[in-house]
Structure 1
Amino acid sequence: MNDLHERIAASFNAQGLMTTLGARLAHVQDGEVRIELPFDARLSQQHGYVHAGAITSVVDSACGYAALTRGPEGCDVVTAEFKTNFLRPAIGQRFVAVGRVVNAGRQLAVVTGEVLAHTANGAEPKVVALMQATMVYVQPR
């Protein structure tokens, strides 16, 4: 494990929400982070799809951690704003949220994210959500 992965993993593992959702940090590289979320009926809405709140939470975290890979030494990151588009119902065995840095400055990072639904039959994953977000670099508390 490299220093970048360790830095992101330490922060990710401190998040109670990601633990509650059953999400796991799947991939870290400069400018990109992936978080996996297995299907769990406890995360569903009334039609049996994964709830938009769970989907938004994992893609927000993937975007934030992607931004953190480009952040100044010793900083942390918080979300300033985001917009999420839901393209189809979140149906699948597992979901992969991918956050990617578009531009990182000294104080802000603009990032994009997508959530891919993977099914048990091995079909091509489908994009269920897209995110555009702005992250702010802050000093840890």
Structure 2
Amino acid sequence: MDNEMQQRVARSFDAQGLMATLGAKLLHVDDGEVQIELPYAAHLTQQHGYLHAGAVSSILDSACGYAALTRAPAGSDVVTAEFKINLMRPAIGERFIAIGKVQNAGRMLTVTNGEVRAFSAGADAYKVVALMQATIVSVVR
């Protein structure tokens, strides 16, 4: 992955107000793969204390979108056309990593999939809490 693409993704990520509001951080950018990290925060929970599905969906949608951006034609941006998410189990953990990967990149549409992994304190082991498949559209600027 070239440094220019990593910077392109980082600039776009830094411009997202929602990611800043959530406290999410861009963790890894590679050709066809992006990882976003989100630490647990009480203000992002639902009524049972689990990370809210909205926060889980948001970081995973962004990870899939930015993975697609790494394969998008020069001079274009990306937007999500649709996604399907499966919430596998309660999002319990100290930190969460959303991993988005390109499955097929076309000129206009890119199909991605991803998962959110929940990590407990000091543990390298994780549990997958969500799976997503998304269709991302390349948009000429």
TM-score band by shorter chain is: over 0.9
CA distance in 2, matches of 1:121, 1:26: 18
Aligned pairs for 1:1-141 within 5 A? 2-122=3-123, 124-140=125-141
SS at match of 2:91: coil
After TM superposition, give the deviation of residue 4 of structure 1 in Å: 1.1
Measured against aligned partners, the alpha-carbon deviations of 1:15-73 in whole angstroms (never above 9, x if no partner) come to 00000000000000000000000000000000000000000000000000000000000
Amino acid at match of 2:119: H
Measured against aligned partners, the alpha-carbon deviations of 1:90-111 in whole angstroms (never above 9, x if no partner) come to 0000000000000000000000
Number of residue pairs matched by the alignment: 140
After TM superposition, give the deviation of residue 132 of structure 1 in Å: 0.4
Gaps in structure 2 of 5+ consecutive residues? none
After TM superposition, give the deviation of residue 122 of structure 1 in Å: 1.1
Amino acid at match of 1:111: T
Moved more, 55-64 or 119-128: 119-128
Give the structure-2-normalised TM-score: 0.97
Amino acid at match of 2:23: G
Any runs of at least 4 consecutive aligned residues in structure 1 with deviations exceeding 3 A, and if so which? none
CA distance in 1, matches of 2:101, 2:124: 24
SS at match of 2:13: helix
Give the structure-1-normalised TM-score: 0.97
Moved more, 120-129 or 72-81: 120-129
CA distance in 1, matches of 2:67, 2:12: 12
RMSD over equivalenced CA pairs, Å: 1.0
